[in-house]
Amino acid sequence: MLRSLLLVLLLPAALAQANINPLPLPEDKGQPVGQILIHTAQEGDNLAALARYYGVSPILMMAANPDQDLLLLQPGQRVIIPHQLLLPRAETQGIVINLAELRLYYYPEQGDEVYVFPIGIGRVGRATPEMITRISEMRKNPTWTPTANTRREYAAKGISLPAVVPPGPDNPLGDYAMRLAYGSGEYLIHGTNDPLDVGLRSSAGCIRMYPEHVEWLFAQVGNGTRVQVVNQALKVSTDQYGQTFVEAHEPLTPEGLADNRPLDLSALMPLLEQGADRSLIEEVIQRQQGVPQLVGQQY
């Protein structure tokens, strides 16, 4: 439903090229990275434009502003931009993708910083798998060879696909594609000819990026770059001062359903054992606002 609503929104030309800036990594890796931004809506602003400009998935923006209607922005309306986050539990090298938060992290070989981008991922029934792999092929102006399943899906919509889609505006891979070595090589990180797919579960399993983001990333990486895909809806970290932060997202499963199992609070047990307010912690987790929140101090 979100995508159908976004289709009526136009992206102002002035916002077409988002800024690509690194977030400095703190010396204490338990601290949140980045900061919360506040955007005051101007005439003509819309969710699709703001999400692309700030490099944040529309779904994350809606989660961070649960009491606001971001599909009908009014001049003067204050919008929280969730630019503060906890790093996923993964090696801080190469590319790390966290499916649950619809984000791609890129850690350059040199420097204490990280670049963070919104992504689109596999839809229900074609979920992007978790993996540890590497980039096996770099392709500029790629062609696209639809699979048999994809042909059937398009045929059901009355669309007949050619055997090979050449580079150009009709190619869903966009202008840049990076093939992953996982499986038989069917998964790629690539651009898109439909930017409204970024930030949604809409692909056949590949990772989609905004055209300007994938162009930049393509120039930074190469064959052999490490890629790790995780699915961490709950991120927890404790800094050197004993402050514990929680960042909670809506859990994703291959079936597209929220995970209704009891909350796994094992990472928060030291805090709970010291008498922390369990109901407060559970409320923070259940709200799934996608921004780090301080839930207690261990010492």
Among residues 83, 206, 213, 249, which one is catalytic?
206
Q: Among this protein's residues, is 190 annotated catalytic? A: yes
Mind giving me the DSSP string for 117-170? Answer: EE-BEE-TTSPPPPEEEEEEEEEES--B---HHHHHHHHHTT-PPPSSBPSSTT
DSSP state of 197: G
Q: Give whole-number Cα distances, 239 to 2, 155, 243, in Å.
A: 36, 53, 6
DSSP state of 267: G
Structure token pair of residue 154: 């398009």
The sheet that has 243-248: what strands, in order across it? 234-238, 243-248, 293-297
Among residues 83, 190, 213, 249, which one is catalytic?
190
Using CA atoms, how far apart are residues 256 and 252, in angstroms rounded to an integer? Answer: 6
* Closest to 3 in 3D by CA, of 49, 75, 58: 58
Q: Among this protein's residues, is 206 annotated catalytic? A: yes
Structure token pair of residue 73: 């922005």
Q: Catalytic positions, please?
A: 190, 206
